Amino acid sequence: MGVSTSSPDNGIRVVTVDFPPVNALPVQGWYDLADAVRGAGRDPDIRCVVLAAEGRGFNAGVDIKEMQRDPGHSALIGANHGCAEAFAAVYECEVPVVAAVNGFCLGGGIGLVGNADAIVASDDATFGLPELDRGALGAATHLARLVPQHLMRTLYYTSRTVSAQELHRHGSVWQVVPRAGLREAALGLAREIARKDGSLIRLAKAAINGIDPVDVRRSYRFEQGFTFEANLSGLADRVRDTFGKDKANDRAKDLAKDLKEATP
């Protein structure tokens, strides 16, 4: 459990996240992920990094329960800084990063894949930002790298998700494969990248980042300022306190409806 690394092929480092049950990362988990990705990029023998996850889904964002247990704002501040570091580590990694996305990719997961260089996804993968339902803001910066502007806004305001197949149509997901073949598909792309000259691929990564029209670190930190405002005003707490309750109420209503329809 936690963040682990492996090197299944020459020139490739796999960074794997495993925080059961849903890969909602605690504060330290974000820092551990950042350290693992940065360490891989600094290794002169590595030419490509694969970011992967074990379990039901790729990433469910921050650990909201950790925040709810904190009587102050330490967990919130820690999560904000940790997320910023992990997202930046992926973007600033000295070699290309391939994200291998399985199942759900939500909240902070969007920050990771939005900053990756390439995305391979399983056919059951879904992507979205439920931030407004969780008393938070942020990662619109990264969602905007996956979908067109107006779709990004609609997804953000509604907290809806999109499928891997739809992102493939938009061109942000390179390949959609059955879940059982996800890791091998991601490694296949990584091998193709890792066959390039190591020094040249690092120059290519720096050059591509240098012509990026958006400073993703600065724009994300700007977004986080509004998250602090929502928390200091008490608005975020009111929204977070309803976390899970709406779904429970919806399930109760659905059950009542089913029972009513089943009554002769």
pLDDT, tens digit (0-9, with 9 covering 90-100), for 68-94: 788 888 888 898 999 999 999 999 999
Domain range for residue 82?
Answer: 2-235
The reply to whether 258 falls in a domain is: no
User: Is the pTM of the predicted complex or chain greater than 0.85?
Assistant: yes
The reply to whether 262 falls in a domain is: no
The reply to whether 242 falls in a domain is: no
Total domain count for the chain?
1
The reply to whether 245 falls in a domain is: no
pLDDT, tens digit (0-9, with 9 covering 90-100), for 40-74: 999 999 999 999 999 999 999 998 888 778 888 88
The reply to whether 207 falls in a domain is: yes
The reply to whether 248 falls in a domain is: no
The reply to whether 246 falls in a domain is: no
Quick check: 260 pLDDT over 70?
Answer: no
Sheet holding 161-163, edge to edge: 104-106, 126-128, 161-163
pLDDT, tens digit (0-9, with 9 covering 90-100), for 208-257: 999 999 999 999 999 988 988 888 888 888 887 776 665 544 443 443 34
Report cis status (omega within 30 of 0) of the bond before 213.
no
User: What are the CA-CA distances from residue 92 to residues 46, 48, 135, 191, 226 (Å)?
Assistant: 15, 13, 28, 20, 24
The reply to whether 247 falls in a domain is: no
Which CATH number characterizes residue 117's domain? 3.90.226.10
